[in-house]
A and B are shown apart, each in its own frame.
Chain A
Amino acid sequence: EVQLVESGGGLVKPGGSLRLSCAASGFVFRTYTMNWVRQAPGKGLEWVSTISSSGSYIYYADSLKGRFTISRDNAKSSLYLQMNSLRAEDTGVYFCARGDDYGEHDYWGQGTLVTVSS
């Protein structure tokens, strides 16, 4: 059974940093593209970042302006999102999701809540 479990969310002050993790199991992690998607309270889904299976290709939403860094450790079947210079508008639930052949996000974690507030 495919499982994705996010962790690392919490309350952080504006300008602070946070590192999210996503532990994967039930599939061969090193062969799949992985994604981060976020959702502000009461709002829709917003794609954040994608990393290819080997980590060679990385893409970010233009709106992030270099504040976030995606990475992965295939030996640990883990995905990460380093978030710096956090702003109130970064508040929301962050989901990790597996990417399939045409980019569709076929499995999702339950999400981890990030709250940016003073």
Chain B
Amino acid sequence: EIVLTQSPGTLSLSPGERATLSCRASQSVSSSYLAWYQQKPGQAPRLLIYGASSRATDIPDRFSGSGSGTDFILTISRLEPEDFAVYYCQQYVNSQFIFGPGTKVDVK
């Protein structure tokens, strides 16, 4: 069974700073099926990145994804006030979807 681990659990940063979020899989996975989501309180998740590095529709270019194998990164180049939220990675493997536990990005 593949497990996704996200780190850090909480990232405290100021607007304008760079955020680097990690998603690590317990075994090698296909980057084609690695996605990132943003969720704000009381809202549905929003797709940010699919295929590890492709931005979803209408996602600003300050969001970028990278990685392969077991290690994937979501980078927010310069945090805007609306970017403070929880971020989840997701992997599709063996007909199952797995979500990571999430990283909360909050205001320092």
Do A44 and B99 have beta carbons less than 8 Å apart?
yes
Interfacial chain B residues near A50, Cβ < 8 Å: 95, 97
- Assess whether B19 is interfacial by the CB under 8 Å rule: no
User: Contacts A45-B37, A47-B98, A100-B50: A106 and B56 contacting too (C-beta < 8 A)?
Assistant: yes
Chain A positions near chain B (C-beta within 8 angstroms): 35, 37, 44-47, 50, 59, 61-62, 95, 97, 100, 102-111
Q: How far in angstroms is the closest Cβ of chain A from B55?
A: 12
Q: Which chain B residues lie closer than 8 Å to A106 at the CB level? A: 47, 50, 56-57
Q: A44-B102, A45-B99, A104-B50 are in contact. Are A109 and B44 (CB under 8 A)?
A: yes
Q: Is the CB of A104 within 8 A of B96?
A: no
Contacts of A109 in B (CB 8 A): 44
CA distance A110 to B95 in the complex (A): 25
CB contacts (< 8 Å) of B51 on chain A: these are 102, 104
Range of interface residues on B (Cβ < 8 Å): 20 to 34
**B44-A110 in contact (CB<8A):** yes
Q: Which residues of A contact B67 (CB under 8 A)?
A: none
Contact A62 B96 (CB under 8 A): yes
Q: Of residues A46, A105, A107, A111, which shows the largest number of chain B Cβ atoms within 10 Å of its Cβ?
A: A105
B44–A108 touching, CB < 8 Å: yes
Q: Is B35 an interface residue (CB 8 A)?
A: yes
Quote the shortest CB–CB distance from B30 to chain A (angstroms).
Answer: 9
Main secondary structure of the interface of A (DSSP, over half): strand
Q: Apart from A102-B32, A104-B35, what are 6 other A-B pairs with CB-CB below 8 Å?
A: A47-B96, A62-B96, A102-B51, A104-B51, A105-B45, A106-B57
Instruction: Indicate whether A46 sits within 8 Å of B99 (C-beta atoms), given known contacts A100-B50, A103-B92.
Output: yes
Q: If the complex has contacts A59-B95, A102-B50, A103-B97, are A45 and B44 also in contact, measured as CB distance less than 8 A?
A: no
A111 to B45, CA, bound (A): 10
In contact, A35 and B97 (Cβ under 8 angstroms): yes
Beta-carbon nearest neighbor of B94 in chain A: A59
Taking a contact as CB atoms under 8 Å apart, the answer to whether B96 and A61 are in contact is: yes
- Of all chain A residues, the one with the shortest Cβ separation from B50 is A104
The smallest beta-carbon distance between A22 and chain B, in angstroms, is 12
